[in-house]
Amino acid sequence: MNTYRMLIFAGLLLAGILNSAAQNCGCSPDLCCSQWGYCGSGDGYCGPGCREGPYAFFNGIVDQSDAGCEGRGFYTRAAFLEALGNYAEFGSASSEDGSRREIAAFFAHVTHETGRKMISPIM
């Protein structure tokens, strides 16, 4: 009888550990972490509530822009990747730091133009 109890306890413990481990995300770079903590692709994972992954940054830009902004749907990941394909020199400075600065400056501009102006006084 004790053996069965131990097996049931071990099974429940293992099920709990595996379930909680699946919810930690840490997805591969091509997958999104859904609002419920699971890795995958598609609207259920990369749509509203996406916590991390290739779409999270772009969803944040769109979500934070004013509803009346005419270009609100323009700054999507798909649109960015399509435009990127037309400009081979973008983000390919002579150093990795230079490339990061160029990309960061672009996204700062995008965020500014979508109405998310964050200017705080220097104290």
Pick the catalytic residue: 82, 89, 102, 113?
113
Length of the chain: 123
As a whole number of angstroms, the distance between CA 109 and CA 91 comes to: 15
Considering only CA atoms, which of 54, 59, 22, 23 is closest in space to residue 41? 54
CA distances from 46 to 22, 55, 56, 58 (A): 17, 6, 7, 10
Q: Is 54 helix (H, G, I), strand (E, B) or coil?
A: coil
Give Cα 116 to chain centroid, integer Å.
18
The dihedral region occupied by 82, where left means phi > 0, alpha psi between -120 and 50, and beta the remainder, is alpha
Annotated catalytic, 113?
Answer: yes
Catalytic residues: 113
